[in-house]
Amino acid sequence: MKIIIIGAGVIGSTTAYYLAKSGHDIEVIDRQEGPALETSFANAGMLTPSMADPWNAPGIFKTLVSTIGNPHSPFLLRLKALPSLLGWGVSFLNNSREKLYIENIHRSADLSWYSVKLLDELRKKLNIKYDQITTGSIKVFRDMESLEKLARLSEHLIPHGMTYEVLKGNDLLKAEPSLEPVIDKLAGGVHFPDDQAGNAYKFTCEIEKEAMKLGAKFNYGVRVEKIIKKHNDISAVRTSAGDMTADKYILCAGSYSTPLAKSIGINIPVRPAKGYSITVPLNGWNGGPRMPIIDDGFRAAISPLGDVLRIAGTAEFSGLDQSLTSDRLANMYDLLSEIYPDFAPYFDKDKVTEWAGLRPISVDGSPYLGKTDVANLLVNTGHGPLGWTMAAGSAKMLTDIIDGNEPALDPKKYSLNR
């Protein structure tokens, strides 16, 4: 079957791989000059089923309102974004009710866990390298109450086969010696040994190459301008390189999937939440972390990715705006200097790469996978803060749906009409 995929981020490229492997004739379209040059480019690199708890936990409304006007807040709601958030925002807040929140954790944990196992298989079978780390992640806390809250929440991961360990003082240092300079300020941390990490950009480039070996074609520098619908079918996509046609079309355009789908009357409840990162060369320093460290207070993480440190995080609701703001970037620099004061002599500001990307946030923490009300249009989008974590699982599930095979997880739980 001929299938057009819109978007060559980590989601579109991994989808292209699984579909090409299944024998389909794949064409991918992306407006950028290569794979993963938007949100999948410089994320925190963590593969963290442990972070299956969606952002909209009970109490999120108060948290968000308190951020308005505070440019340093880890979460930030900009007033200009409010009109675009209205309908979506009601569902987002509704999903923060305790019962739904717990259900949402389990749905997201199922997909994340499935996905990371598939990624392991891919890495071994294809022998691909992406600065992978398989020693877990550590979430650190400055106050006991937050540490205990996460420990209670982590109980929900146990039925999925994941483990965790609450660590304090010397035990925390044994797991992650690089925390030495701040250990006295920390109430403790939680180590999730099943988590992994790696460079999502490098992975996407590798999987794109594997998809190409299987015959997939990637059209770069080509923008989808319009989706053309006739009756209840897509008849073509109008692009900057002319009209392109296929039997089926899959939207994998991250946060831009929503406006593209809206133009043909399909509602994808996804809104962008901007996050930032700085990528800092180690410059010969060997005191860095062995695994990603997530600092809950900063809502940001420090990940060792080969010969660089990536400091990434925070969330800003400001619409489809990818610009860099110095106040928001300052959070990343602050976290680096706070946790690793010893790095100062090695730090070279001229070699830092600053970046921002738009996480496609669904209303309940899980992506939308599968069919839409338009007969030959499918979606694979809305992965929010876990798109790298969920990429392989989402792509395999979508391939199974298209091929009429039974997916490993209940597809109704991830459908657009759930």
Ligand X SMILES: Cc1cc2nc3c(=O)[nH]c(=O)nc-3n(C[C@H](O)[C@H](O)[C@H](O)COP(=O)(O)OP(=O)(O)OC[C@H]3O[C@@H](n4cnc5c(N)ncnc54)[C@H](O)[C@@H]3O)c2cc1C
Strands 188-192 and 165-167: antiparallel
**Which one, 51 or 179, has the nearer CB to ligand X?**
51
Nearer to ligand X, 133 or 153 (CB): 133
224 contributes a contact to ligand X by CB under 6 A: yes
The rounded distance, in Å, linking the Cα atoms of 230 and 46 is 41
Pick from 312, 369, 397, 409 the residue near ligand X by CB under 6 A.
Answer: 312
**262 binding ligand X? (CB under 6 A):** no
Nearer to ligand X, 44 or 401 (CB): 44
Among 157, 386, 392, 401, binds ligand X (CB under 6 A): 386
Dihedral of alpha carbons 388, 407, 396, 162, sign: positive
Binding test (CB under 6 A) with ligand X, winner from 223, 226, 262, 351: 223
Q: In terms of CB distance, is 7 or 188 closer to ligand X?
A: 7
The candidate with the shortest Cα–Cα distance to 195, out of 102, 120, 92, 285, is 120
Distance CA 229, CA 235 (A): 6
Instruction: Give min distance, CB of 184 to ligand X, in A.
Output: 28
Q: Are 76 and 70 contacting, i.e. CB atoms less than 8 angstroms apart?
A: yes
Q: Per CB under 6 A, does 11 bind ligand X?
A: yes
Nearer to ligand X, 164 or 256 (CB): 256
Q: Which is nearer to ligand X, 32 or 173 (CB)?
A: 32
Among 389, 393, 395, 400, binds ligand X (CB under 6 A): 389
| Chain residues 110-169 in contact with ligand X, contact rule CB under 6 A | none
List all residues 6 or more positions away from 407 whose beta carbon is below 8 Å from its beta carbon.
396, 397, 400, 401
3-class secondary-structure state, position 158:
helix
Q: Which of 36, 40, 19, 134 is nearest to 387 (CA)?
A: 40
- Under the binding rule (CB under 6 A), the answer on residue 331 touching ligand X is no
Query: What is the number of residues in the chain?
Result: 418
Query: CB of 356: closest distance to ligand X in angstroms?
Result: 7
Residue 211 found at the interface with ligand X (CB under 6 A): no
For residue 410, the Cα-to-chain-centroid distance in whole angstroms is 21
CB under 6 A: which stretch of 54-62, 103-111, 152-160, 253-261 binds ligand X? 253-261
Q: Does 95 bind ligand X (CB under 6 A)?
A: no
252 lies in the binding site for ligand X (CB under 6 A) = yes
| Residue 8 binds ligand X (CB under 6 A) | yes
Give the integer Cα–Cα distance in Å for 182 and 340: 8
CB of 211 to ligand X, least distance (A): 14
Indicate whether 199 belongs to the interface with ligand X (CB under 6 A).
no
Burial grade of 169 (CB within 10 A; 0-12, 13-18, 19 or more): exposed
Q: Does 189 bind ligand X (CB under 6 A)?
A: no
Beta-bridge partner residues of 46:
197
**Could you give the CA distance from residue 246 to residue 263 in angstroms, rounded to a whole number?**
19
Per-residue mark of binding to ligand X, 351-370 (x: CB under 6 A): ------x-xx----------
C-beta pairs of 237-241 under 8 Å, 24+ apart in sequence: 237/4, 237/6, 237/29, 239/29, 240/31
Q: State the helix-helix crossing angle for 98-126 and 387-403, rounded to 10 degrees.
A: 80
Of residues 38 and 131, the one with the C-beta less far from ligand X: 38
CA 69 to chain centroid, in Å, comes to 26
Which residue's structure tokens are 């400001």? 318
Closest distance between ligand X and the C-beta of residue 120, in Å? 15
Positions 43 through 62 that interact with ligand X (CB under 6 A)? 43-46
Query: Contact residues for ligand X (CB under 6 A)?
Result: 6-12, 29-32, 36-40, 43-46, 223-224, 252-254, 256, 275-277, 312-313, 357, 359-360, 381, 383-389
